[in-house]
Amino acid sequence: MDRALFPDGVERCSFGKFALWMGFVTAFFLFGLYAMILIFAKGIVVTGLDNYFGFGLWITFDLAVIALGAGAFFTGFLKYILKIDQLKNIINLTVIIGFICYSGAMLVLTMDIGQPIRAWFGYWHPNVHSMLTEVIFCITCYCLVLIIEYVPLILEQKQLNKIPFLHHLAHNMHVNMALFAGIGAFLSTFHQGSLGGMYGVLMGRPYAFREGFFIWPWTFFLFVLSAVGSGPIFTVLCCTLMEKMTGRKLVDFKTKALMGKIAGTMLTVYIFFKILDTWAWANNFLPSVGMTFDQMFYGIIYGKWLMFTEIILCGLVPAIMLITPSIRNNPTLLYTAGILDCIGVTLNRYLFTVQAIAIPVMPFDSWQFYYPNWTEWSTCGMIVAYGVIVMSLSYRYLPVFPQERALNK
Amino acid sequence: MKAKEFNIKWGMVIDLDKCTGCGACMTACQVENNIAPMVDASNKLRTLSWMLVYELSNKKAAPDAEIAYLPRPCMQCGNPTCVPVCPVIATDKNEEGGIVSQIYPRCIGCRYCMAACPYHARYFNWEDPIFPKGMEKTLSPNTSVRPRGVVEKCNFCHTRLMKAKDKARQEGGNPEALADGAYMPACAEVCPTGAISFGDIKNPEHKVHELAKGENAYRLLEKLGLAPQVYYVSKREWVRKLGDNYAATGKAGAEKKHS
Ligand code: SF4
Ligand code: SF4
């Protein structure tokens, strides 16, 4: 019944099936919405956070989706600035994923702060020395850029595009996309870095603190690198998942493998520096504050296995897999490496967020545990559901994949 | 990074050999600063205790077992890690005397400062303060209550500093050169054993000036370089050793590298 709205020459499932799917996802969304309303009404006292764990699942989730959403700015940069033309096959998808990740993260942040009504204070009374201020500014600006990049895609919807004004608007926006891609790359690099900087400046938290270059601690650069080392492959994974669900080919494997190569190259650079950094941290910094590597870990929940999983299994291994052409060109192995890569960056963000503040620094203090409760999980679930809804609508009605027609002949 | 210096340095020297762990300082602090009793205070990671007494143990079996108590206010760090991180300048160290401020109407409750402070000196208001009927009559008129969603911490009873300065002005004295004892936080005043001394560490006429220089005086986590304005004193070496991390070197008094 909504066939007239489909992009030209492609097949989509029946409206009934689509409605069923949307209903299923909306149920998750509504459950999260209920938790969100509860949080706004009663405050974050309903979460599992406490005075030891001021940061928890939400901040981890935010940092992880922002890193995984990095496919948007980095692919944009490669496509529009470095002119790697093949990336046009997947660029729309990276923009949508980026938009979902950033808008979702911003929504989570408004829940996370104790006084959501004061969220705008970040612009009104900015502390220029705070990495968080930079994050607030860059994330909002970059989210605007993503909207600007997303809008022409919406305007290209078959029916909308028949309106001459919208058609020309979309065209003109496309013409200037390189400019926005440039601004986006700049903003995004900075806040990816600032997110790392946020932890690197914590001189009271030996797990996170790092020396650095000028005002930027090493974590600044490591976060940028790990984001560009995982964002592109996350887009590939999303694309593959969509292909599996819809049964249609959306992007040719060559483009996916290229994204894998890009992510792999950056991941290799990242993991090289990450290992150096970890080595220097364990051998120089920690002893200088009287602490040892062993003191940074505890039991199973805070065990060393986390760090080894992060750096070796989900860092070094996928890096090697992605830069080796014979492995990368095998779909199963490419996706496996991609999944490991994404787990690695998420784990990294988790460790910097939760492990870093769980470690007792005062010798007479003790390890504490943090369990996110249902309100935190369900609101994160709400963001995921929101993403799935936006993605489903975009896939059904917008010309997201330029190759789709040719690939499904 | 260098610690921020002022002409006056309000500081505390706490004698851990005198502290009996009675908790009077904690109570006095709650009363002075209008901290509402919680309906359910069973989760100690959610209570508000600007001043918190920790129990230290030498971890030995009887008859060598020993314990000590360590009251922990905000250290009013000379190089506070909580201040530069705040995105909205809701906390600052910019007033003569060096007390680290907390501006409740400005704070957005992001809790970044809490993540920054290794002393756990900062507390979040999980709920709006509700005082049981009748208790509102006992509230201190000098201290504002804080709404849900903002962070708070010890400020050395800053309103008492204001009062002491006013008094000095009224009596024709110099508000920038208060006599020893003219300004006392509630905890220091109430401590029954006199374990908490308070004053201007830079002023030779104040008792804390000498106390902070004593051979058994130390500060918590000095190696991190936060330069606290709170000092501790103990004649017992094991107590002093618990003031910092020595696992890496094995001995007390390791080289301080970061300042
Ligand atoms: S003790 Fe903590 S809250 Fe107080 S000034 Fe130092 S870092 Fe800030
Ligand atoms: S919780 Fe308040 S005081 Fe602390 S960093 Fe955030 S805005 Fe600043």
Domain ranges of chain A: 12-399
> Does pLDDT of A128 surpass 80?
yes
- By Cβ distance, the residue of A114, A288, A362 closest to B221 is A362
CATH classification code of A12-399: 1.20.1630.10
- CA nearest neighbour of A244 among A356, A331, A373, A338: A331
- By Cβ distance, the residue of B56, B117, B124 closest to A204 is B117
- The H-or-E segment that residue A260 falls in is helix A253-280
Q: Tell me the domain boundaries of chain B.
A: 10-257
Which candidate in A362, A368, A373 is best for mutational testing of the B interface (most B CBs within 10 A)?
A362
> Does pLDDT of A9 surpass 90?
no
Residue A367, beta-bridge partner list? none
Ligand nearest to the CA of B90: 2
Cβ of B122 and A51 within 8 Å? yes
> Does pLDDT of B258 surpass 60?
no
Give the ipTM of the model, two decimals please. Answer: 0.93
Predicted pLDDT at B236: 96
- The H-or-E segment that residue A333 falls in is helix A331-350
Which residues are CB-contacts of B163 (< 8 A; sequence separation ≥ 6)? B142
Predicted pLDDT at B51: 97
Q: B209 CB less than 6 Å from ligand 1?
A: no
Question: Are B11 and B227 contacting, i.e. CB atoms less than 8 angstroms apart?
Answer: no
State the closest ligand 1 atom to the C-alpha of B153, by its place in the atom list counted from 1.
Answer: 3
pLDDT tens digits for B167-185?
999 999 999 999 999 999 9
- By Cβ distance, the residue of A45, A51, A290 closest to B245 is A290
| Domain B10-257 classification at class level | alpha beta
Average pLDDT of span A34-57: 96
Cβ of A43 and B148 within 8 Å? yes
Q: B125 CB less than 6 Å from ligand 2?
A: no
- What 3-state DSSP class applies to B184? coil
Q: Which residue has the tokens 């690695």?
A: A344
Residues of B whose CB is below 8 A from A53: 45
- Left (φ > 0), alpha (ψ -120 to 50) or beta: where does A50 sit? beta
pLDDT tens digits for A324-379?
999 999 999 999 999 999 999 999 999 999 999 999 999 999 999 999 999 999 99
Question: Are A82 and B77 contacting, i.e. CB atoms less than 8 angstroms apart?
Answer: no
Cα A377 to middle of ligand 2, angstroms:
24
Predicted pLDDT at B40: 85
Predicted pLDDT at B257: 36
Predicted pLDDT at A215: 83
Which residues are CB-contacts of A324 (< 8 A; sequence separation ≥ 6)? none
Q: Report the distance separating Cα B191 and Cα A397, nearest Å.
A: 72
Predicted pLDDT at B252: 47
Predicted pLDDT at B250: 57
**Mean pLDDT, chain A, whole residue set:** 94
Cβ of A127 and B89 within 8 Å? yes
Q: Report the distance separating Cα A120 and Cα A126, nearest Å.
A: 10
Q: Which of B92, B103, B123, B151 to mutate to test the pocket of ligand 2 (most atoms within 8 A of CB)?
A: B151
Cα B86 to middle of ligand 2, angstroms:
5
Please give the interface size between A and B, counted as residue pairs whose CB atoms are below 8 Å apart: 177
Average pLDDT of span A234-252: 96
The closest residue, in CA terms, to atom 2 on ligand 1 is: B117
Residues of A whose CB is below 8 A from B111: 49, 54-55, 114
Percent of chain B with pLDDT over 90: 89
The closest residue, in CA terms, to atom 6 on ligand 2 is: B110
Residue of B nearest to A136 (CA): B87
Residues of B whose CB is below 8 A from A357: 115
Note the pTM of the prediction, 2 decimals.
Answer: 0.94
Predicted pLDDT at A193: 93
Shortest distance between the Cα of A203 and any Cα of chain B, in A, equals 6
Percent of chain A with pLDDT over 70: 100
Residues of B whose CB is below 8 A from A125: 88-90, 106
* Torsion on CA atoms A394, A399, A402, A405, rounded to nearest 10: 100
Count Cβ atoms below 10 Å from residue B204 Cβ, excluding itself.
Answer: 7
Q: B51 CB less than 6 Å from ligand 1?
A: no
Ligand nearest to the CA of A112: 2
Q: B121 CB less than 6 Å from ligand 1?
A: yes
- By Cβ distance, the residue of A55, A114, A294 closest to B149 is A114
Residues of B whose CB is below 8 A from A121: 87-88, 106, 108
Q: B217 CB less than 6 Å from ligand 1?
A: no
State the closest ligand 1 atom to the C-alpha of B81, by its place in the atom list counted from 1.
Answer: 7
Average pLDDT of span A91-105: 95
Q: Report the distance separating Cα B69 and Cα B57, nearest Å.
A: 9
Predicted pLDDT at B103: 96
Question: Are A117 and A180 contacting, i.e. CB atoms less than 8 angstroms apart?
Answer: no
Predicted pLDDT at B39: 84
Which residues are CB-contacts of A186 (< 8 A; sequence separation ≥ 6)? none
Cβ of B247 and A295 within 8 Å? yes
Q: Report the distance separating Cα B108 and Cα A115, nearest Å.
A: 5
Predicted pLDDT at B256: 39
Residues of B whose CB is below 8 A from A112: 110
pLDDT tens digits for B219-255?
999 999 999 999 999 999 999 999 999 877 655 443 4
Predicted pLDDT at B254: 38
